[in-house]
Amino acid sequence: MSGILDGKRILITGVLMESSIAFHAAKVAQEQGAEVILTAFPRPTLTERIAKKLPKPAKVIELDVTNQEHLDRLEGLVREELGSLDGVVHSIGFAPQDALGGNFLNTPFESVATAMHVSAFSLKSLAMACKPLMSEGGSIVGLTFDAQYAWPQYDWMGPAKAALEATSRYLARDLGKDGLRCNLISAGPLRSMAAKSIPGFEELADVWNTRAPLAWDMNDPEPAGRSIVALLSDFFPRTTGEIIHVDSGVHMMGA
């Protein structure tokens, strides 16, 4: 049987561990017929080791999304490897420790600026760096954590994710004429590298133990990975600027 990504070429950022949503997106994408290329920063060798656990080999390119030189060279490196792209996955987020863990009122602007640059503005940067490779159109998919709410311990990553969500909508508006869709997956909490950087993560995640209509497994990133692959496919040809929740229904629960 053919896969839903047969013949597609996909660039995926953020594969840091086997527990990363991005790893499972890459795994499912390959299983569904895609050629995949990965980017990594600051330790490409770590991603190269993790990539060996994928069904097929995948080249790893070093990419710091805050470094314009890295962004400028990306097109040439990807074109040399794949020729062009049909999809891009943005799985990048970072905030300094003093921007997390209950320090919201005392976080200096320099730390806020870093969180915004890496976690939100980078979606625009990555999209524009890859745009020349997607002359036939394609799909850009990012990852958010529902920014409608003020979550315990999440602090400045909350406004950064809100900025990411707004950025996705504006990209959807401005890139639609080029046949490019831009959507986000809002996943529930997972025990990933990102989670380990959030002090008090278990307090945040405990919400899912009491409010999720469907059982939520914090150790299973595959549902989010599969949803990314669905948005990369041609099965959502007229969906853009959307946020798809993969959170077992917590987002729609009232008191």
Q: Any bridge partners for residue 208, and if so which?
A: none
- Give all strands of the β-sheet with 35-40 in edge-to-edge order: 60-62, 35-40, 9-12, 87-90, 138-144, 180-187, 243-246
20 labelled binding-site residue = yes
21 labelled binding-site residue = yes
95 labelled binding-site residue = yes
Cα–Cα distance measured from residue 255 to residue 80, given in angstroms and rounded to the nearest whole number: 53
Cα–Cα distance measured from residue 82 to residue 61, given in angstroms and rounded to the nearest whole number: 12
64 labelled binding-site residue = yes
50 labelled binding-site residue = no
Closest listed residue to residue 193, CA positions, set 4, 20, 11: 20
129 labelled binding-site residue = no
Cα–Cα distance measured from residue 191 to residue 194, given in angstroms and rounded to the nearest whole number: 8
Cα–Cα distance measured from residue 165 to residue 101, given in angstroms and rounded to the nearest whole number: 22
234 labelled binding-site residue = no
27 labelled binding-site residue = no
Tokens of 220: 């299973």
Q: Which residues are catalytic?
A: 154, 161
CB atoms closer than 10 angstroms to residue 211: 16
CB atoms closer than 10 angstroms to residue 46: 15
Task: Report residue 141: phi and psi, to 5°.
Answer: -125, 130
Cα–Cα distance measured from residue 175 to residue 13, given in angstroms and rounded to the nearest whole number: 20
Element containing residue 113 per DSSP (H, E) = helix 109-116
Cite the annotated binding site by residue number: 14, 20-21, 64-65, 92, 95, 161
Task: List, as residue ranges, the binding site for substrate.
Answer: 95
Q: Which residues are annotated as a binding site for NAD(+)?
A: 14, 20-21, 64-65, 92, 161
